[in-house]
Amino acid sequence: MTSSRSTGDGFPADQARTARALVASACDVALTIDARDRVVDVEASLDEFVEAVAEGWLDRPVAEIVTTESRSKIAALLAEARGEGRGRWRESNHPAREGEELPIRYASAYAADEDVVILMGRDMRAIASLQSRLVSAQQAMEQEYERLRQMETRYRILFQTASEAFLVVEAGSEQIVEANPAAARLLGKAPQGLAGRALQEQFAPAGRPALAGALAAALASGRSETAT
């Protein structure tokens, strides 16, 4: 969709419009901005832009068709194009329906023969959606990490202050990984002195077969077992 502006001493209007259409075909949208910073032409493959043009984008200041946060970026694109011939890519947003925003990544180029700046845009909705999902996933991971950290803290407090004796044992080697103070007192050793030692060595020979049976049964069933 285009305006009916003439191109002055530059290309004939139909040729200039065709050139802009070719630019738009290489991206998703091309906005032509005149010396007054007004939108004088729009070429787009996105339905959202076609509808927006029908609602009155043409002959409006470009600052009015982007969000407040994007105005400085558009101003920088126009200034760079007019001063250096082109402007680097910047992400901007257009207001969309129902309070949503349409993210577009624009670069700019100056057409000296017409004294206009062409803003060439790429639709960034897919990337914005992916970024949003990544942020949500990261937040969920952080929340889960915090939940686990709190659980570990509570476990540590209970483990250290419990009056019952607890030994944490590595299943394969049956070596003690950790002992709480109550277990250390019961076995007559310091808690750190029990780590890495064989569990069977901490019990009388007569009780070791029952202990081994209880451990094997617990591993097989996943339930607690008792040895006396």
* Per-residue pLDDT reduced to its tens digit, 68-106: 999 999 999 999 999 988 888 999 988 877 677 888 999
CA distance linking residue 14 with residue 29, whole number of Å: 18
The reported pLDDT for the residue numbered 204 is 82
Contact 77, 106 (CB under 8 A): yes
Closest CA to 20 of 1, 38, 37: 1
For residues 128-136, average pLDDT: 80
Question: What is the pLDDT confidence band of residue 34, given thresholds at 50, 70 and 90?
Answer: very high
